[in-house]
Amino acid sequence: MNKGELNHLLGIKGMNANQIHTIFETADNFLSLLQAPVKKTPALRDITIANLFFENSTRTRVSFELAEKRLGADIINFSSSSSSVKKGETLIDTVNNILSMKVDMVVMRHPAPGACMFLAKNVKSQIVNAGDGTHEHPTQALLDAFSIRNKLGSLEGKKIVIVGDIKHSRVALSNIYCLQLLGAEVMVCGPSTLIPKHIEQLGVKVSHNLDEALSWCDVANMLRIQLERQDQRFFPSLKEYSNLFGLNMERLNKLEKEIVIMHPGPINRGVEITSEVADSQQSIILEQVENGVAVRMAVLFLLAQHQL
Contact region with ligand CP (CB under 6 A), list: 42-50, 51-59, 90-98, 294-302: 51-59
Q: How many chain residues are in contact with ligand CP, going by CB under 6 A?
A: 10
Please identify, using beta-carbon distances, which residue of 131 and 164 lies nearer to ligand CP. Answer: 131
SS3 content of the chain, % helix, strand, coil (to 5): 45, 15, 40
Question: Least CB distance from residue 62 to ligand CP, whole Å?
Answer: 8
Q: Which is nearer to ligand CP, 43 or 166 (CB)?
A: 166
52 contacts 98 by C-beta, under 8 angstroms: yes
Residue 208 is given by DSSP the state S
Q: With CB under 6 A as the contact rule, which of the stretches 15-23, 187-195, 196-204, 258-266 interacts with ligand CP? A: 258-266
Which residues, 6 or more positions from 12, have their beta carbon under 8 angstroms from its beta carbon? 136, 138, 141, 142, 174, 177, 178, 181
What's the closest the beta carbon of residue 63 comes to ligand CP, in angstroms? 8
Q: Does 265 bind ligand CP (CB under 6 A)?
A: yes
Name the DSSP letter for residue 209. -
Does 134 sit near ligand CP (CB under 6 A)?
Answer: no
57 is an interface residue for ligand CP by CB under 6 A: yes
Q: Is 140 in the site for ligand CP (CB under 6 A)?
A: yes
Q: Residue 133: what residue type?
A: G
Residue 150: other Cβ atoms inside 10 A: 16
Question: CA-to-CA distance for 66 and 6, rounded, in angstroms?
Answer: 24
Report the SS3 class of residue 110.
strand
Closest CA to 245 of 194, 179, 183: 194
60 lies in the binding site for ligand CP (CB under 6 A): yes
Residue 59 touching ligand CP (CB under 6 A): yes
Residue 129 binds ligand CP, judged by CB under 6 A: no
Least separation in angstroms between residue 55's CB and ligand CP is 8
Please list every residue from 195 through 254 that binds ligand CP, using CB under 6 A: none
Could you tell me if 140 and 171 are in contact, meaning their C-beta atoms sit under 8 angstroms apart? Answer: yes
Q: Which of 157, 266 has the CB closer to ligand CP?
A: 266
- Using CB under 6 A as the criterion, which residues of the chain lie in contact with ligand CP when the complex forms? 57-60, 131, 137, 140, 264-266
